[in-house]
Amino acid sequence: MTNPIRVAVTGAAGQIAYSILFRVASGQVFGKDRPVHLKMLEIPPAMKALQGVAMELADCAFPLLAGMDLTDKADEAFDGINWAFMVGAKPRGPGMERGDLIKENGPIFVGQGRALNRGANDVRAMVVGNPCNTNCLIAMKNSDVPKDRFSAMMRLDQNRAQSLLAEKSGQPVTAVTNMAIWGNHSNNQYPDFENAKIGGKPAAQVIKDETWLKETFLKTVQNRGADIIKARGASSAASAANAALDHVRDLIQPTPAGDWRSVAVCSNGQYGVDKDLIFGYPVRVKADGAYEVVEGLAMTPWAKAKFDAVHDELRKERDVVKDLLK
């Protein structure tokens, strides 16, 4: 039997993990023939609830679930892992912005960043816990793991944007391609309809309604998380877990020719972004498994102003946590 892939999930007794764990264990991410060993991290008060989650995982009798470890120590959770889903963090409540969580959640990623050094040689980490871009920056700066192994999740925003464009154009969601979400997973993100395509044509040639694109579309994607909190009384969970799975698959499979995926990765200065910010870019994974930021995309002055605003927001978040950056 193939060696199990060792997958850590933090916040393993929380809402999002409740969906991620079962789908990973069923083979929906790493393949139907790849056994999975789950390493689940929680804080001490949630360990009892985590035991319940583990009982349920066992009760599914997943053929691919090769083992489970439950722990409240990051060093144990990340020992020998190949992938980390870094979800464990407080969610925002009504009336808060994601950035308001930074003082409380940021410190979690200092110790967990260090603990990632205990991962396997190929360890990769993706951050969901908000504010995910800056939490990812904190983890990366506190770790010796190479920078290109860190990413934060923009895929929920990409999925929201694709779904809206599909609905408005009356086309299936699969017809919407080249959807880039620039910058931060925040209400200043820029969902780039100028470079998006519907059925292979520029989105704005299919949806001939500039006001809708610049106002309704933009604001709906930017504010979707808050709208879900207002409606549900809790932040998105199933759709966030679904996006986390999409995100990891995006990074382990070559991207279909001509398309790209939205991933927040460590900036190397592409598009003038400050080096090392974890910035939402259009990303392609090549046949050799390495990713690259898609360069040379055009932006109108209107779009560039949105891009600059979200870049500034990430600089400000970095300044707030400067004491946590090694």
Which of the listed partners (ligand LMR, ligand NAD, none) does 228 bind, with a CB threshold of 5 to 8 Å by partner kind?
ligand LMR
C-alpha distances in Å from residue 54, one per residue of 4, 50, 60, 79, 196: 18, 6, 10, 19, 41
Tell the smallest beta-carbon distance from residue 227 to ligand NAD (Å): 13
- If you search the block for the tokens 């691919």, which residue do you land on? 64
Minimum CB distance to ligand NAD, residue 236 (Å): 5
Pair of tokens at residue 325: 């950056």
Candidates 40-48, 165-173, 188-196, 278-286 — which segment interacts with ligand NAD by CB under 6 A? 40-48
Q: How many CA atoms lie within 13 A of 56 on its CB side?
A: 14
Within residues 183-222, the interface with ligand NAD by CB under 6 A covers 185
Query: Which residue in the list 37, 185, 247, 311 is annotated as catalytic?
Result: 185
Strand order in the sheet with 261-266: 65-71, 36-41, 5-10, 83-86, 124-127, 150-153, 261-266, 278-285, 291-293
Q: Shortest CA distance to 100 belongs to which of 213, 242, 226, 15?
A: 226
Closest CA to 120 of 8, 285, 244, 29: 8
- The C-alpha atoms of residue 16 and residue 242 are separated, in whole angstroms, by 9
99 binds ligand NAD (CB under 6 A): no
- Pick from 42, 250, 313, 317 the residue near ligand NAD by CB under 6 A: 42
Give which of 23, 42, 39 is closest to 84, Cα–Cα: 39
Q: Using CB positions, name the residue nearest to ligand NAD.
A: 14
**Closer by beta carbon to ligand NAD, 35 or else 225:** 225
Q: Is 91 in the site for ligand NAD (CB under 6 A)?
A: yes
- Residue closer to ligand LMR by CB (options 101, 115) is 101
Q: Which is nearer to ligand NAD, 48 or 316 (CB)?
A: 48
The one of ligand NAD, ligand LMR, none whose footprint includes residue 16, by CB under 5 to 8 A per kind, is: ligand NAD
Report helix, strand or coil for 173.
helix
> Which residue has 């809206």 as its token pair?
164
By CB under 6 A, tell whether 13 contacts ligand NAD. Answer: yes
Going from the C-alpha of 137 to that of each of 194, 214, 233, 234, the distances in angstroms are 28, 30, 29, 26
List the single partner that 88 binds among ligand LMR, ligand NAD, none, CB under 5 to 8 Å by kind: ligand NAD
Verify whether residue 37 is a known catalytic residue. no
Subset of residues 48 to 67 that bind ligand NAD, contact rule: CB under 6 A: none
CB of 1 to ligand NAD, least distance (A): 30
Check: CB of residue 154 under 8 Å from CB of residue 98. Answer: no
Can residue 47 be called a binding residue for ligand NAD (CB under 6 A)? no
Q: Residue 13's binding partner, choosing from ligand LMR, ligand NAD, none, with beta-carbon cut-off 5 to 8 A by kind?
A: ligand NAD
229 sits near ligand NAD (criterion: CB under 6 A): no
| Cβ-based neighbour number of residue 137 at 10 Å | 31
Choose the contact partner of 153 out of ligand LMR, ligand NAD, none; CB within 5 to 8 A by kind: ligand NAD
Nearer to ligand NAD, 75 or 304 (CB): 75
- Euclidean distance between CA atoms 2 and 318, whole angstroms: 41
Binding residue (CB under 6 A) for ligand NAD from 158, 178, 236, 267: 236
Q: How far apart are CA 198 and CA 179, in angstroms?
A: 10
Which residues are part of the catalytic machinery? 185
Residues that bind ligand NAD (CB under 6 A): 10-11, 13-16, 41-43, 46, 87-92, 108, 128-130, 132, 153, 156, 185, 235-237, 240
